[in-house]
A and B are shown apart, each in its own frame.
Chain A
Amino acid sequence: MNALEKAPARIDLGAEFCDAGIGEVLESLERDLVGLAPVKRRVREIAALLLVDRVRQRLGLATEHPSLHMSFTGNPGTGKTTVAMRMAEILHRLGYCRRGHVVAVTRDDLVGQYIGHTAPKTKDVLKRAMGGVLFIDEAYYLYRPENEKDYGQEAIEILLQVMENQRDDLVVILAGYADRMERFFESNPGMKSRIAHHVDFPDYSNDELGEIARRMLASWNYRFDDGARRAFDEYIVLRRRQSHFANARSVRNALDRMRLRQALRLFESGATVDAEALTTITESDVRASRHFQQAEEAG
C-alpha cells in the first residue's frame, strides 16, 4: 500500500507503449509475417508483460528482473529466425537488451573438437552475443547422449552458468523441432527450468504459403500471371506430400528454380524482351517442376 501511495501519478500505458516504439515493431511483425497467429499472440503477450513490468518499476513496485530466455519450437522454415530478430528488436526498444543484435549459432560454433577447445569457443560466442540475443539453432545437437565423452555437455554447462548469472547481459533463444527439443529438455532439466517462454511455431497452411510466395516474388520484383498462380497453388499441395518439406524455405527454393527456368526461357526465345516479360513468371515455368511429372507418373 505504501508503495502505491508514493507513486508519482497515473501512468498512461498507451503513451508508454508509443514511447517505447514497440508498437511499430509489433505492427510490422503483424504485417510482414503471414499466418503464425499463435506466435504473434505470444510475442504480444511477452511485450505487454515487459512493458507493464517497466511501468511497475517506475511506480516503485518491486519486480524480479524477468527471465527472458526462450525456446522456439517448430518445423523448419516456419519463421523462427525471423521472429527471433523481431524479438531482439522488441527487447532492445524496451531496454531489456542493450544492443539488440542477434548472434545465430549452431552446435559447430559452440562445441570444440578436442579437450579444452570447447570452453574458449563457447565463451567467445557468448562474449560476442553480450548485450543482444544468442540464437542457438537446433539446440538439441548440443547434447549427444549416445557419446558420454561428447564435449556438448561442457558447452551446455557454460551456457547455463551465463544464462543464470548474466541475465541482464544476454538473452538466449533455443530453436529446433518440437519433439527433439522436448527430449533435449527432459535430459537437461537445468536448461528447461531456466527458460521462461516456450513458443510453438505451427506449420503454414497451403493458402498462407501461396501468400508467402507472392510476397517473396513482389519483394524481388517478380510476379505470377494467373495461370502460374493456380499452378503454384497446386504445386504446394504436391510438394507438401514429398519428404523434406520445409515450409517457407521450400517455397523460396521453388521460386528460385522457377526464376532460373524463366531466365532460360527468355534467353532461348531470343526475342526482344520488355519489363513485363522480365518480371512475369508464367504457368509453364511453374509446371516444369519435377513434382508435377512425378505426380503424373504416379497418378
Chain B
Amino acid sequence: MRITQGCFSFLPDLTDTQIASQISYCLDQDWAVAIEFTDDPHPRNTYWNMWGLPMFDLRDPAGVLGELKACREANPETYIRINAFDSTKGWETVRMSFIVQRPTAEPGFRVIRQETRGRNLRYTMESYAVGRNPEGARYGA
C-alpha cells in the first residue's frame, strides 16, 4: 500500500528534475529546505530523523540535491522527505513537505480493533513493517 503523506503523494514519484524545480520554488519563497528520513512512516510520527541541519541561505537546488543523493546512499529502503520551513513572522512553520524516496515494498497498515467497556470499539492503525522488525531492518531485504 502506497503511503500518501504531504504534497504530490497521489502523483507518481517525482523525478530528480521535478524535485529540483519544487526545491527551486521553495528557495524562491525564502523557505529553508531540510531533508528527513525514517523507517516508521506512521502518520502520527511527525519526528523523522534529520539529515544534517536545515539548509538556510541556499540560492539553488543543486546544494539540496547533493545532500539528497548522500542521504539516499546512506539510507536506502527508507522514506525520505523534503521539508520547506517558512520563518516569516506569523507562519513560522513547515509550508511544504513531500516524499522523495520510498522503500521498494510498502506492506502498509492494518486496523486494530480494541473492545472496551460497553461493547465499544477503539480503532488504531499499525504498520506491518514496523511491527515485524526492529528499527533499521524494517524495509528491504
Contact = CB atoms under 8 A, between A and B. Distances in A.
Contacts of B57: 128
Interface string B62-73: 111011000000
A166 B63 CA distance: 11
- Interface size grouping (class) on chain A: 10 to 19
Residue among B58, B61, B67 facing the most chain A CB atoms (10 A cut-off): B58
Interface in B28-61: 55, 57-61
Interface in A187-234: none
Contacts of B60: 98-99, 130-132, 169
Interface string A151-177: 000000000000000100110000000
A101 interface: yes
A166 B62 contact: yes
Interface string A116-153: 00000000001110111000000000000000000000
Contacts, number: 35
B74 to A, nearest CB: 15
Interface string B56-99: 01111111101100000000000000000000000000000000
A130 B59 CA distance: 7
Contacts of A126: 63
Interface of A: 98-99, 101, 126-128, 130-132, 166, 169-170
Given A127-B63, A130-B66, A131-B61, 13 more contacts: A98-B60, A98-B62, A99-B60, A127-B55, A127-B64, A128-B59, A128-B63, A130-B58, A132-B60, A166-B62, A166-B66, A169-B60, A170-B62
